[in-house]
Amino acid sequence: MGARLVLILGGTAEAAGLARALADRPGWRNVTSLAGRTSAPGPVAGELRQGGFGGVTGLLAWLAAERPAAVVDATHPFARQMPWHAAEACAALGIPRLRLLRPSWQRATEDRWVEVADAAEAVRILPNFGKTALLTTGHEAAPTFLQLHPRMRLVLRSIEPIPDLPLGVVHVQARPPFTLQAETALLARYGVDVLVSKASGGAAGHAKILAARAQGIPVVLLARPPQPDGPAVADPSEALSWLSGLG
Ligand code: NAP
């Protein structure tokens, strides 16, 4: 019997971790699928495919052709479509599917978190909390937050460049993970008095939350979107156990 195929829906550190673990396991092979949003994705162990499938129909066609033993949906907690497409397509074909979803950050008593539904709500309340905001919600949310310019001083951080930013808006192009020291220095350099972040969870983005906590800076947190029902685990090692249990 040939090696069993796992399709990993990727774009996260957890997906990369699972791919590395599976690449070392006899009897398994894996394909990591990336949406192709970041121009220079990190290295991936195993096979790689890039670009959208073409909705549920395209995903169904891919799965029917490749017949993976399982799909591990390790997309980002804020991926709003892919988890639902995977749930629908896997259910239709009877392919086992697992959600690999990193745990949320835990609030400490000294945290000053303000939880909001989305970027639009964040824009509405942000001026109540500070004058200089560090926005870490990615390049796609940038246009929404730019409505606050020049009322607030904006420092936007993203992996990808953001073209045509108005004069006076600061852009910091950087890729996680970040250290606590670097995040503390960034807050100080620009005099940031309010931080905006997705409630992404995970270690790679946690340092900014810790830096804000240490400095008593409020954090406006965008809530996670809902997830499809089904089995879910928090880290790659649990995903490996689930795969081993498939029989
Ligand atoms: P999304 O809303 O769930 O997906 C939008 C479309 O992108 C999907 O319908 C699908 O296109 C394609 N797609 C998404 N993930 C894919 C994957 N792993 N392989 C192939 N196609 C994929 O997701 P998104 O928010 O645009 O994020 C895109 C990717 O970036 C995700 O894989 C996610 O893990 C990663 N990411 C997202 C965030 C975030 O904050 N949203 C942060 C870090 C990383 P088709 O319908 O054509 O198949």
User: Which mutation among 76, 80, 85, 137 tests ligand 1's pocket best, with the greatest number of atoms within 8 A of CB?
Assistant: 76
Query: Does the Cβ of 75 fall within 6 Å of ligand 1?
Result: yes
Question: Among 167, 113, 128, 160, which Cα is nearest to 141's?
Answer: 160
Whether 195 and 133 have beta carbons less than 8 Å apart is answered as yes
* 3-state secondary structure at position 65: helix
Query: Does the Cβ of 76 fall within 6 Å of ligand 1?
Result: yes
Residue-wise pLDDT tens digits, 163-184: 999 999 999 999 989 999 999 9
- Would you give the end-to-end CA distance of the chain in angstroms? 14
Residue nearest to ligand 1 atom 30, measured at CA = 11
Query: Does the Cβ of 54 fall within 6 Å of ligand 1?
Result: yes
Residue-wise pLDDT tens digits, 12-48: 999 999 999 999 899 999 999 999 987 777 789 999 9
Q: How confident is the model at residue 235 (pLDDT cuts 50, 70, 90)?
A: very high
Q: Are strands 132-135 and 232-233 parallel, antiparallel or unpaired?
A: unpaired
What is the per-residue pLDDT for 42? 78
Please give, one letter per residue, the 3-state secondary structure of 114-176: EEECCHHHHHHHHHHCCCEEEECCCHHHHHHHHHHCCCCEEEEEECCCCCCCCCCCEEEECCC
What is the per-residue pLDDT for 74? 98
Question: Among 166, 217, 165, 209, which Cα is nearest to 188's?
Answer: 217
What is the per-residue pLDDT for 56? 98
Residue-wise pLDDT tens digits, 70-101: 999 999 999 999 999 999 999 999 999 999 99
Query: Does the Cβ of 138 fall within 6 Å of ligand 1?
Result: yes
The pair of three-digit structure tokens given for residue 32, joined into one six-digit string? 């990591």
Q: How far apart are CA 22 and CA 20, in angstroms?
A: 6
Is pLDDT above 70 for 1? no
Residue-wise pLDDT tens digits, 193-229: 999 999 999 998 999 999 999 999 999 999 999 999 9
What is the per-residue pLDDT for 184? 98
Is pLDDT above 80 for 51? yes
Residue nearest to ligand 1 atom 11, measured at CA = 52
- CB-based burial label for 110 (10 Å; 0-12, 13-18, 19+): exposed
What is the per-residue pLDDT for 2? 84
What mean pLDDT is predicted for residues 116-123? Answer: 97
Residue nearest to ligand 1 atom 26, measured at CA = 79
Query: Does the Cβ of 130 fall within 6 Å of ligand 1?
Result: no
For the chain, the average pLDDT equals 96
